[in-house]
Structure 1
Amino acid sequence: MQSLSVYRLHKLLVVVGLLHVRVNAQTSTADRTTETGEAAITDPNEECSPYSYPPVVNQLSAFPSIWEAASILSDDSAAQAKWDSISANIPSNISVKTQPPASNYSSDDPDCWWTYSLCTEPKLSGLPVDISAAPEPSTLGYGFDDGPNCSHNAFYDFLLSQNQKATFYYIGSNVADWPLEAQRALADGHEICAHTWSHPYMTTFSSEAAFAELWYSMQMIKLAVGVTPTCWRPPYGDVDDRIRSIANALGLQTIMWGYDSEDADINGQSITDQTVVTNYNNFITTASNGTFNFTGAIILTHELNNFTMSEAVQFYSQLKSSFQHIVPVGVSLNKTQPYVETNYSLPTFEQCKCPLRSRFEELEF
């Protein structure tokens, strides 16, 4: 995003200030060693000041460099063994792609490349269809990409005040930087999915490198939060049947979307603040017109920065009025076991249609 204008910055600061629902003033004695302590911080500047969380910091050498493209580390026998066990089943006849799509790519889209044709029904046999809508009527599969954001306490406080759960697609490098923020999603009863290690266009990576992006994001979430995701979302929606095969081999369900708020794409020219407002309003109008009376929807939104989170808060009441149910994507799918580990569960869709629970049972870390 480009630099904010003075007016826009003032607007965001006012909105973010209104989000803070905790009344205790932040002091210099904040506990930055536990999820509860980190979640109590109300000053965004303090939230975004670095801290050291030993369970993660002490294991960073077992992961790729933060925010650099992942590859299997030479001394990581577990990752290498897993890749060796699935690599023979990953299609070798689907080529690595370029961005933007090359002009000579076949117009019939043989690889079901979403970036090219918005394809979500794999053409390679044995692969499940991508989830791009909540299957339940008048239901919004609510979720946010690119977290955890270091200053998300105000946003998560708002969701908590509304008893609202969501799906969060976490980038492994962000989890490494902000592990206690990642823990809050689980503590508050949200669903966590993987969003790769460094947020690349996945189809531009070799199969082994794409595997590493998914593997290390999953392992970092496990290390920091205590659970291993069984869902993921490709950055930029960039997925084809080769990448789907890798994700599927890792037990990851591919979650896409049918509508885009474009809240993370502002460039001050073709996409502006008003574009995002218009997109939200159009989506709400579409919902109000009965389009989702038989099958629900998923809209792409982000936990990227104060603007994206503030827009989510601004439009929440209208979304709530336009849909009968707003639930995590996993709940809309009746996916009660969202992680590899079995000591944590989500409610069924029927259970979540009632007033939502305030806070799920926390895991020990």
Structure 2
Amino acid sequence: MRTSSVLLLLFSAVGAQAQDRTTEAGDAGIEDPDAECQSYYYAPVSNAMGSFPTIRANVTSILANDTVGQQKFLAMNSSIPNIAPRGTLGGDFSQVTYDQAADPDCWWTQTQCVTPKLADLKPDVASVPEPRTLGYGFDDGPACGHNRFYNYLAEQNQKATMFFIGSNVMWFPLEAQRAVADGHQICAHTWSHPSMTAATNEGAFAELWYSIQAIKLVTNVTPTCWRPPRGDVDDRIRYIATQLGLETIMWGFDSFDWEAGTNNITTDTVQGNYDSLMAKAGSGAFDGIGAIMLTHELNNYTMQTAMDNYPKLAAAFDHLVPIAVAQNKTQPYVETNYSMPSFADCAYPL
């Protein structure tokens, strides 16, 4: 069944009882994750589906009816760095040979390089400039059952940076709208979460382009930042992102919450990673410059783990703020009718 057809379906009468799935505020009142994760009809998304790729499918080309996207890509294509795609979109690089010592492409997956080799590309953001500050953020949203998590953040008067997958935004638009309504910063996280260095030039462009368009359609803001899935980025992908007005946001520490239960990563491992970050803060490691840790809005486990660790993070750091606030970027979007506080004016008490 095509996604456009799925989006036209109302969820069952039982699930719909006493629920308002027509407004962001009404949707935010649903605290049962199972009920919140029922699909629902949202006219702006349903009416626009012909202008977007299939939900959750990797994007390998620009849609034939997207003349704006085609023209934008053609304008940059000849200047995109001549770096061949490698590996698979699913993140398998086992057959790839790469000179890690020379690292000609600043390929993060192999070397954790965040300073591009290509002239005129800005370094990735892997830390924040404010001392004893955690740039607080979460990948892979909007999670369909995130209201309890967002309620918790609201109770703490805590804002964060949310890296949204375009497909998820289209699938659960009211959840995406809540992030803006609650004062969180939104960045792009591609359309379908592929390993970007495996994509062709056009595929990489399309993954970013349609994630930007989805966020704009649903939330009325255009992001100026993005995070590569799995951190997989090189100078070719950085260049494409830069041409789309996106700053690349990475991290210095990884909770591995997304991997819990696989690849020998246990919940104890994840908690140990949180504890290690907080121990570093206590030792003075961030007295000169702040930190960014990779955490996720992915599922109930990752969100509950974030809530469990929040009081301890708040005690370990002087400030927990969205990355834009830690960068003193008061205009986080292309649109100028929305602003965030400067770091000095930050109103998030800890």
Structures share fold, TM-score greater than 0.5 = yes
Query: How far 1:30 sits from its partner (Å)?
Result: 1.6
- In the alignment, is residue 63 of structure 1 matched against residue 52 of structure 2? yes
The residue number in structure 2 matching 1:96 is 85
SS at match of 2:38: coil
Q: What is the Cα deviation at residue 29 of structure 1?
A: 2.2
3-state SS in 1 of match to 2:233:
coil
Q: Report the counterpart of residue 82 of structure 1 in structure 2.
A: 72
Cα drift, residue 89 of structure 1: 1.9
Alpha-carbon distance in 1 for matches of 2:74, 2:198: 21
- In structure 1, the residue matched to 2:22 is 33
TM value normalised by structure 1: 0.88
Cα distance in structure 2, aligned partners of 1:176 and 1:27: 20
Take 1:28 and 1:42, find their aligned partners in 2: how far apart are those partners?
14
The two structures, once aligned, show a CA RMSD in angstroms of 1.4
Asked if the contact 2:261/2:267 (under 8 Å) is kept, the reply is: no
Q: What amino acid sits opposite 1:123 in the alignment?
A: K
In the other structure, the counterpart of 1:141 is 135
Secondary structure in 2 aligned to 1:298? strand
Task: Give yes or no for contact 2:157–2:348 (8 Å, CA) kept in 1.
Answer: no
Match of 2:98 among 76, 92, 105: 105
Give 1:88 deviation, angstroms. 2.0
Structure 1 vs Structure 2: percent identity of aligned residues?
56
Count of residues in correspondence between the two structures: 330
Identify the match of residue 298 of structure 1 among 289, 292, 295. 292
1:195-242 CA distance string (max 9 Å, x none): 000000000000110000000000000001111100000000000000
Output the CA distance in 2 between the equivalents of 1:224 and 1:129.
30
The amino acid of 2:281's aligned partner reads A
Give the stretch that moved more between structures: 274-283 or 158-167.
Answer: 274-283
TM-score, normalised to structure 2, is 0.92
How many angstroms apart in 2 are the aligned matches of 1:102 and 1:320?
A: 43
SS at match of 1:119: coil
Is the CA contact (8 Å cut-off) linking 1:114 and 1:239 kept in structure 2? yes
1:104 maps to a residue whose letter is: T
Is the CA contact (8 Å cut-off) linking 1:325 and 1:353 kept in structure 2? no
Q: Which runs of 5+ in 2 are unaligned?
A: 1-14
Q: Distance in 2 between matches of 1:119 and 1:88?
A: 25
Q: Name the CA distance, whole Å, in 2 between partners of 1:157 and 1:75.
A: 40
AA paired with 2:77? Answer: S
Q: 2:4 maps to what in 1?
A: none
1:243 maps to which residue? 237
Alignment correspondent of 2:159? 165
Structure 2 Cα separation of the partners of residues 195 and 245 of structure 1 = 16
- Give, as a single letter, the amino acid of the residue that structure 2 aligns with 1:207: N
